[in-house]
Amino acid sequence: MAQDGSFAHYPSLQNALVLITGGASGIGAALVEQFALQAARVAFLDIAEQSAVELIDKLGLVAVHRPAFLKCDLTDVAGLRSSIKSIETQFGAVRVLVNNAASDDRHKMSEVTPEYWDERMNVNLRHHFFAIQAVAPGMTQAGGGSIINMSSIAWMIPSTGLPAYVTAKAGIVGLTRTLSRELGGANIRVNCVSPGAIMTERQRRLWVTPDYLAEIMQRQSLKRELLPEDVARLVLFLASDDGSTITGQNFVIDGGWV
């Protein structure tokens, strides 16, 4: 166990172009940081401009390649496609795509309208498909790549109080399975990561109470808090050539909750 902070280094990620959605905060920010520390060329999309700038300034002191940020509303598919095209024009083919962006806002089943349902699908599911569709041609021409979709254990528990989010996260696993078959012939791997209770700043601020934290510790086999960088290190492996024969899988990282 890397008690001193020395974790795996993946030579295959060096200089690889990595695109991360929702990279300005939470797990996304940890992904940007961990890929940057692998000397990857990182580009990320988000709407939180100030957080993105602060993250880039922080990593500019330690990263070989300064991460690139594009402000993008992922629910705007035309804008998403344009942002990806801009990244490809500037840096070349995307070799790693991490579909991370999501929002786990709570909502009561009885209060969900058709409009809210559609908005939740747009925020949590739809952009996964269209980001993959956009990067696939360049990735294919470059000889392949790795796509990692972020799901959640929410649909496995199952969680209550956010049914649209849970549905979207289950859908991501199905999307991963089918696209792994669609794209496998192009040497493009598609996998899924399902985190448990990850202690992001947002989770601590909005949802983590002493009672909820006690419930987490009771349900997890590992009696410690799980952090964004724990998830990021699993994603690094799946993105690297070390995971070159793994595709169509869903990896649960929850400390043994489910």
Query: Residues of 139-169 as b/e, b for ≥16 C-beta within 10 angstroms?
Result: bbebebbbbbbbbbbbbbeebeebbbbbbbb
Q: What is the pTM of this model?
A: 0.95
Percent of residues, the chain, with pLDDT higher than 70: 98
Tell me what the pLDDT averaged over the chain comes to: 95
Q: Give, in order, the Cα–Cα distances in Å from 244 to each of 19, 77, 93, 197, 218.
A: 18, 30, 18, 28, 36
Which pLDDT does position 16 carry in this prediction? 98
Amino acid identity of residue 155, one-letter, is: W
Which pLDDT does position 129 carry in this prediction? 98
Which pLDDT does position 205 carry in this prediction? 86
* Mean pLDDT for the stretch of residues 203-218: 88
What is the residue extent of each domain of the chain?
A: 12-253
Which pLDDT does position 1 carry in this prediction? 44
* Mean pLDDT for the stretch of residues 50-58: 97
Which pLDDT does position 206 carry in this prediction? 83
Q: Which of the residues are catalytic? A: 165
CB 109 within 8 A of CB 62: no
- pLDDT digit string, tens, across residues 136-175: 999 999 999 999 999 999 999 999 999 999 999 999 999 9
Helices (H), 149-200: 163-183
Q: Give, in order, the Cα–Cα distances in Å from 57 to each of 50, 53, 64, 162, 194.
A: 11, 6, 13, 35, 29
* Mean pLDDT for the stretch of residues 62-76: 96
The 3-state DSSP class for residue 127 equals helix
The CATH architecture of the domain made up of 12-253 is: 3-Layer(aba) Sandwich (3.40)
pLDDT at 2 over 80: no
Which pLDDT band, with edges at 50, 70 and 90, does 203 fall under? confident
Which pLDDT does position 5 carry in this prediction? 59
Amino acid identity of residue 20, one-letter, is: I
Percent of residues, the chain, with pLDDT higher than 90: 92
Which pLDDT band, with edges at 50, 70 and 90, does 135 fall under? very high
Which pLDDT does position 156 carry in this prediction? 96
Which pLDDT does position 6 carry in this prediction? 80
Which pLDDT does position 133 carry in this prediction? 98
